[in-house]
Structure 1
Amino acid sequence: MPSADTGASTVVAATSPVPDSDSRLTPGGPGYRRMSFALFLAGVATFALLYSTQALLPLISSGFAVSASAASWTVAAATGGLALFVLPMSALSERFGRRTVMTASLVVAVSLGVLVPFAPSLGALVALRFLQGAALAGLPASATAYLAEEVRPKALVTAIGLFVAGNSVGGMSGRVITGWVAQEWGWRVAVGVIGVIAVGCAIAFRLLLPAPRHFTPGSLRPRVLARTVRDHLANPLLCRLYAIGALFMTVFGGVYTVIGYRLTEAPFSLPQGIIGSIFLVYLVGTVSASTAGRLVGRLGRRGALYLAGGTTAAGLVVSLADSLPLVLLGLVLITAGFFAGHAVASSAVSKTATTGRAQASALYQSAYYIGSSTGSTVGAMAFHAGGWAGTVGVGVLAVAGVVTITVLGSRAARTQRALAPISPSGA
């Protein structure tokens, strides 16, 4: 029988706060800023190290007397190493913890960064870069899994957007700094400076990141891991998101691997320091990634992906002009579209996967960095064969793939709603 409704009980119900049983981090709450800044710094270190040679490719080409496509392997090897090792590293994070694996990855990566400037040949440099990428594989998937576990769902897109924003700052600062340092002292000193910066980021990350409170150790048994991966690959939505991440990164990897070569040639003929400063457009990516949550709130996930793809395609077309202001505008649009699309897709992976989040994120990161390696090599080959128009052609095809996959996702969602019109989960 229901209890009697008394005046006293009404007052208590009206004035007493409802207890919040969700102890995960939320914007404005204790620990959220420390967590955000720590992962921001991890993103800075990851992208600064991962792409430390990208703005220096013309100098590396001349230093080792190799072609653009050969020098591009210093980028492709690092991203390829990350793509190959991100899944095994995510499995280690399931067993030993996200923070432990992220810390170990940064320690190894910055230690290798000290050796990179002393590479005696292109082959040795490519090998060191591969190992550095493999070490960094412990960061991306573990970071997104950490956020999915420690941050409330409503704040997840924003939190991941801040981590991606750290990626953009790392990519920007690494390229700008290496450009100016290399102009005065050469590419070896430039990558050494990036290594020192990464050491500082790694130390601050370990001191700031809150200890995980919602992590439950998993199993390292290969059979369990294989079953988890199989389940994720059987999910059509996750597979579409993986493909979208790879295609966006194909555009980005190709454009930023080749742009230095284009700007050193006529009609631009820019010095290395100015070319490095071009990467300040990454700040646009910082903004677009950090606002991805609001974009999804207004347009929905697929609407946000359409906008990101359209913006990227427009930037590719504008960049064809032989005018430096228009080339810069094109890079701004490409960067904004890419980082928005990446933040939307990666956060959707974390929200879609209810189990094995580290593996789900690892598969996304693997596809993402395979796209980076593909974009770096194919973009450089296309530039060698057809100039900047060839690289743009590769990018346009990749964006067309993003739009096609998103259209297929929209149709699949409509079909699902039609088959289950009264199901609350049909949307």
Structure 2
Amino acid sequence: MPKKLSLEGRIAAISLLAVAIGASIPIVLIQQGINTPLAWTGGLLLALPTVLLLLRLVIGPISHSLKALEGGLLNFRDGDFSVSLVTRRNDQLGYLTKLYNEVAEILRRERAHIYQQELLLDTLIQSSPQALLLVDQGDHIIYSNSGARHLLNRGKPIQGLTVKRLLPHCPQELADAIEKKKEGLLSYSENGETRTLHLSNSSFVLNAQKHQLIVIREMTRELTRAEVQVWKKVIRLISHELNNSLAPISSMAHSGKLLIRQPGQSEALEKVFDIIADRCQHLTEFTQGYARFAKLPAPSREPVRWQQLVERLKPLHGFTLKGELPNRPGYFDPVQMEQALLNLFKNAAEAGSDALNTELQIKVDQHGQELVIRDRGHGMSEKVLQQALLPFYSTKPQGVGLGLTLCREIIDAHGGRIQLQNRAGGGIQINLWLPWPETQTAE
């Protein structure tokens, strides 16, 4: 079967044919003895329709194919990939049409795949127990899930509403937290029951506009379960500590009774009473530690000179001051902060860090005040580091697991944060960050 000419070949052939027709007319006229300008013009005019007809036979199908490709590309621009083109051409335009159909098929499959993924994601989000709200730059809710509708609007649709219009339907505590873009735990009473929620806010840019994602998580059951577990652990710890102290006290008391009946046992009796006194002292410290943790009052903040804080801590525990003290006074509860720092210095000493290698550095900026404690003790494993701030967690044989927990409670009460990390070369670094009160401005 002879191979068809390409598009360029067809146009070239038509051009050559038109030249041949145009050149043959003068030859024919000369052979017939006609050699006038009028005859020549008439001959050319007779040849022109033939040339145009031949050109139309070639260019017409080309124009039709180009218009079809143009329409298909316009559909692509509008996001419509459903149109396929039919062609019987076996040239470059036919090849382009084939490529167009292949691209359209790929785009159709990818769109179907993305649609299935979006459907799966939407199903997961809608069935999530967390309440999710996506708010655009104009404060309109552009997306929400079932949990958000039931929590915030009694199951009624909220998409399209503004946050300001939605808030009156929410519990007052939750409405205030959303309006002020707060984060963290909040509690309120509903139908005689206390509900606890965790609220988080995040901002991001989508389609060149700022959006806000609000996630509200129900924490009541989780906190109840956690509270029960904590109480069980507390009971086990207290029972363990009491048994460890009461058992030897009882044994020593019985031994003391036997020694009293024997003359010349005053030295042995003294040892018995020393052991009893030691166990009683341990029980006293144990119960006082729990009492301090349970009765931690709200911080009474006041301006504190850093030099005064350092001078009060130095005699109680050895450490090295690193860097210069800021000129701007701190603002916190001095008694609670001293207690937190003493606990950290005590931990550093028990971890094997001496006063020279235990450092305190104090820094302030426009956002807050930061105290950094570094030691060169034995550090912590990753597992211990993750649980070090949990109540009643301790790796010490005689520890009650309240030292770091008390520090965290003090820092949290000040609205700050505590961070622990291992140091390169051994030891721990603890960062205590406290914000300035809202009434103060940066100097």
Q: Please state which band the TM-score falls in when normalised by the shorter chain.
A: under 0.3
More helix by share: 1
Higher RCO, Cα 8 Å, sep 6+: 1
Q: TM-score, normalised by structure 1?
A: 0.20
More strand by share: 2
Pick the structure with greater CA Rg: 2
